[in-house]
Amino acid sequence: MKIVAVTSCPTGIAHTYMAAEALERAAKKAGHEIVVETQGAGGRKAIPADILAAADVAIFAADIPVRERERFAHLPTVEAQVKSAIKDAAKIIAEAEALVSAKG
């Protein structure tokens, strides 16, 4: 499964990156590909359009609104708080798997 994710918190510093790393580890452990876009005070590096087009699901681990959310409109989406991604990224990955499986 190909996953794209956005992590963001109000300051966009520590927790944004901790959530990104946790999701990356959990996705790889489950055998999935993942590309994470971090959004915060330091700016962002947008996920390339070709990766977005090939993705199966999006995960938003965000405590603030995701910038340019419309880029992900074609994807089923799992939403969680940053804290949840840090504490239990495997659960969020499992939710994404279930969402994609249900989509068929």
Q: What is the DSSP string of 41-93?
A: TTB--PPPHHHHHH-SEEEEEESSPPTTGGGGTTS-EEEE-HHHHHHHHHHHH
Q: What residues are labeled active site?
A: 9
Is 35 within 8 Å of 5 (Cβ atoms)? yes
